[in-house]
Amino acid sequence: MSAEALSTDRVRINTPATNGDRLWGDIVSTARFGAADKGGVTRLTLTEEDRRVRDWFVAECRALGCTVEVDGIGNIFATYAGEDMSLPAIAVGSHLDTQPQGGRFDGILGVLAGVEILRTLEEASTRLRHPLTVINWTNEEGSRFSPAMMGSGVFAGALALDATQALADREGIAVGTALDAIGYRGEARIDPAAFSAYVELHIEQGPLLEASATEIGVVTGIQGLRWFDIAMSGTEAHAGSTPMAQRDDALVAAAEIVLAVRDIARQNPPGVGTVGFVDVGPNSRNVVPGSVRLQIDMRHPSEAGLDQMEAALQQAVGRAGARAELKRIWSKAPVVFAPSIVDAVRNSAEALGYSATDIVSGAGHDAAHIATIMPTAMIFVPSKDGLSHNEAEYTAPEECARGAEVLFQTILEIDRR
Ligand SMILES: [Zn+2]
């Protein structure tokens, strides 16, 4: 055996491995902060429950030798020193807040896997070349304060700090006040340029990995979305005395559009289209409907796909004539993750011998904001029955462990570059 092969073997042998049992222990034990009745977690952002899990996270990271910083929106950055502190840090993370009666895995897995990697490095008395920062983003869920993905949005410069601190919940409590109440309005000004890459491990929150018995999702991006409102007008008329040929029925016209939305999505795979809201006027059994409002949600991983779907929707609305009015009320561009980081995830899953498939996220994540300021990618692990935002949300211990292993391997690959 050549000296070179020997040294390569040594490096492999010396690479420490994450401990899936220890990670699972953290998932189970931190679920006590906001434990819900059916095994899930209710831990809305910036509440007392959130403070307790944050305090736990900070204490664990400090005990592992990390420097912990908190910025003005309460994002927590725990940094484990690298051999070369002049190098930009590699960042991993996600969020510790949940929906009401949420699960034990959504967001939480990504932060706790980061902690497990810190434990692994510390236990082996090893450092990466780069510093490694584990991040907990504030208010990913958007359940108490809107918008969702708030902390990452402020960090990425998509949301202004002052205006965001002033936003209030339903009780009129401002974000800034809530940060003060739990002691997490920090002073740190963290420069995004201090990071070289961001990798977020997350549960899929959908059924694809489970259905195809695939262990790891290599997330190539996050689909974009467009929201439309349509107002249809017809003529209210007596349901008994108005002959069929003389009706101007707004709901029948709207029904054509509902079917068109389904067909448009089917014709533009993997796009999806939904009419989730219908308001009929006057909504009375024996009156021909005179007005209908529809709310439409269309999503696609590419801007071109979204453009095609929108153009087809305009045509469908055009067929309904002057009585239909279409308005685009909101849009979010698709996110395409950095190929170099996506490749690192794919290579890592392969090196570990796990089945993997490219996948586009159907849901929004903090990584969407972070992708605008640094090379970013995500790793998905399966969600049982595709369930999330539900106490029954479940990812098995070995699935969580695989996710952490791929996350660690990805960091190691980025660190070697
Ligand atoms: Zn999440």
CA distance 34 to 296: 35
Q: Give start and end residues of each alpha helix (H) in 183-286.
A: 208-211, 250-267
CA distance 34 to 45: 11
Other Cβ atoms closer than 10 A to 297: 16
Phi and psi, residue 217, nearest 5° = -100, 125
- State the distance from the centre of ligand 1 to the C-alpha of 48, rounded, in angstroms: 20
Instruction: Give, as one character, the DSSP assignment of residue 15.
Output: S
Task: To the nearest 10°, report the CA torsion of 301, 157, 378, 264.
Answer: -10
Residue with tokens 């195809």: 212
- State the distance from the centre of ligand 1 to the C-alpha of 360, rounded, in angstroms: 15
Is it the case that residue 5 has pLDDT exceeding 90? no
CA distance 302 to 270: 10
Name the helix (H) or strand (E) containing 155: helix 150-155
User: Which residues have a Cβ under 8 Å from the Cβ of 415 and sit 6 or more positions away?
Assistant: 90, 128, 129, 130
- State the distance from the centre of ligand 1 to the C-alpha of 107, rounded, in angstroms: 4
- State the distance from the centre of ligand 1 to the C-alpha of 100, rounded, in angstroms: 13
In this structure, what token pair is assigned to residue 346?
């794919």
Report the pLDDT value the prediction gives residue 366, as an integer from 0 to 100. Answer: 98
CB 87 within 8 A of CB 130: yes
pLDDT tens-digit map of 212-231: 999 999 999 999 999 999 99
pLDDT tens-digit map of 94-120: 999 999 999 999 999 999 999 999 999
> Same CATH topology for 12-222+334-416 and 224-332?
no
Report the pLDDT value the prediction gives residue 122, as an integer from 0 to 100. Answer: 97
In this structure, what token pair is assigned to residue 293?
């409002």
- State the distance from the centre of ligand 1 to the C-alpha of 386, rounded, in angstroms: 14
Sign for the pseudo-dihedral over CA of 206, 210, 215, 220: negative
Specify the pairing of strand 195-203 against strand 376-381. parallel
CB 22 within 8 A of CB 116: yes
Give the residue extent of every domain in the chain.
Answer: 12-222+334-416, 224-332
CATH class of the domain whose range is 224-332: alpha beta
pLDDT tens-digit map of 296-344: 999 999 999 999 999 999 999 999 877 899 999 989 999 999 999 999 9
Report the pLDDT value the prediction gives residue 226, as an integer from 0 to 100. Answer: 96
CB 114 within 8 A of CB 76: no
Is it the case that residue 207 has pLDDT exceeding 80? yes
CA distance 79 to 152: 17
CA angle at 221 for the pair 87 and 27, rounded to the nearest 5° = 75
Residue with tokens 């918008």: 147
The whole-number average pLDDT for the span 396-416 is 98
- State the distance from the centre of ligand 1 to the C-alpha of 201, rounded, in angstroms: 10
Is it the case that residue 1 has pLDDT exceeding 90? no
12-222+334-416: CATH topology is Aminopeptidase (3.40.630)
- State the distance from the centre of ligand 1 to the C-alpha of 45, rounded, in angstroms: 12
- State the distance from the centre of ligand 1 to the C-alpha of 97, rounded, in angstroms: 8
Is it the case that residue 345 has pLDDT exceeding 50? yes
Q: Band of the pLDDT at 14, cuts 50, 70, 90?
A: low
